């Protein structure tokens, strides 16, 4: 599924291959109703950050706060993600772009099902194609399974780089998992220290973080 241009072109009704900037793509994606999620939420949560970001973070899907505000990762998990980024020396609007596998809130904040992930895949793939990040952090099992391995387990895959062409991919725990189980914070911090090191290697050797 990952960066599959054939997948992008397989449905001529929803062909996003002609879009080459995020602003125009966002307008199009916000009209998407390819699955039932759109009818049960307030609106499409496209993503936000720097369109020139070399670092992209991909979560699962919008929650209640995200659906209300139309922005990704603004609830408790998002506030924790911002703290993680801050200690790494990153800021979401300067260094990163944040998005989700599905753009509409699943009912009750449940995990998106396979049909919903597949329906939204052209939207996500088009975003990644335009952004062309150097580092992609997959936050949680849904992102791992959508973009790397449908049978992948985050407990097994986290902390290990996967290289796809020029792109380095780091699976790690979703911030919401850290809120449920604070014991996961240590492993997650180790993963993000690797992200900082890779960012210095690929993007900015002088990138500053007081903590790593």
Give the predicted TM-score (pTM) of the model: 0.94
Write down the pLDDT at residue 13: 75
Partner residues linked to 56 by β-bridges: 97, 136
Residue 34 near residue 139, CB atoms below 8 Å:
no
Mean pLDDT in order along the chain per 10 residues (212 residues): 42 85 98 96 97 98 98 98 98 98 97 96 98 98 97 98 98 98 98 98 97 94
Write down the pLDDT at residue 7: 43
pLDDT per residue as tens digits for the range 33-84: 999 999 999 999 999 999 999 999 999 999 999 999 999 999 999 999 999 9
CA-CA distances (angstroms) from residue 37 to 25, 48, 103, 191?
19, 20, 9, 32
Write down the pLDDT at residue 12: 52
CATH architecture of the region 5-202: 3-Layer(aba) Sandwich (3.40)
Domain residue limits, the chain: 5-202
**Residues of 114-145 as b/e, b for ≥16 C-beta within 10 angstroms?**
eebbebbbbbbbbbbbbbebbbbbbbbbbbbb
Write down the pLDDT at residue 8: 37
- d(CA 139, CA 173) in angstroms, rounded, equals 5
- d(CA 142, CA 135) in angstroms, rounded, equals 18
Residue 172 near residue 158, CB atoms below 8 Å:
yes
- d(CA 167, CA 135) in angstroms, rounded, equals 6
């Amino acid at each position: 599924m990952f960066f599959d241009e054939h997948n992008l072109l397989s449905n001529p009704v929803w062909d996003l291959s002609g879009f080459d900037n995020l602003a125009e793509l966002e307008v199009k994606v916000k009209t998407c109703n390819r699955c039932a999620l759109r009818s049960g939420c307030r609106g499409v949560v496209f993503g936000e950050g720097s369109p020139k970001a070399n670092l992209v973070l991909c979560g699962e899907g919008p929650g209640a706060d995200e659906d209300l505000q139309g922005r990704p990762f603004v609830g408790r998990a998002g506030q924790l993600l911002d703290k993680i980024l801050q200690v790494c020396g990153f800021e979401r609007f300067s260094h990163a772009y944040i998005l989700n596998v599905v753009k509409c809130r699943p009912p009750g904040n449940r995990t998106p099902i396979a049909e919903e992930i597949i329906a939204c895949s052209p939207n996500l793939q088009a975003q990644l194609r335009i952004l062309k990040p150097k580092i992609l952090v997959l936050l949680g099992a849904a992102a791992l399974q959508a973009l790397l391995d449908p049978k992948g387990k985050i407990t097994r895959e986290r902390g290990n780089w996967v290289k796809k062409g020029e792109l380095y991919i780091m699976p790690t725990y979703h911030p919401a998992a850290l809120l449920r189980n604070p014991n996961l914070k240590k492993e997650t911090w180790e993963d993000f220290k690797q992200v900082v090191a890779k960012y210095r290697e690929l993007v900015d050797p002088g990138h500053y973080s007081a903590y790593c």
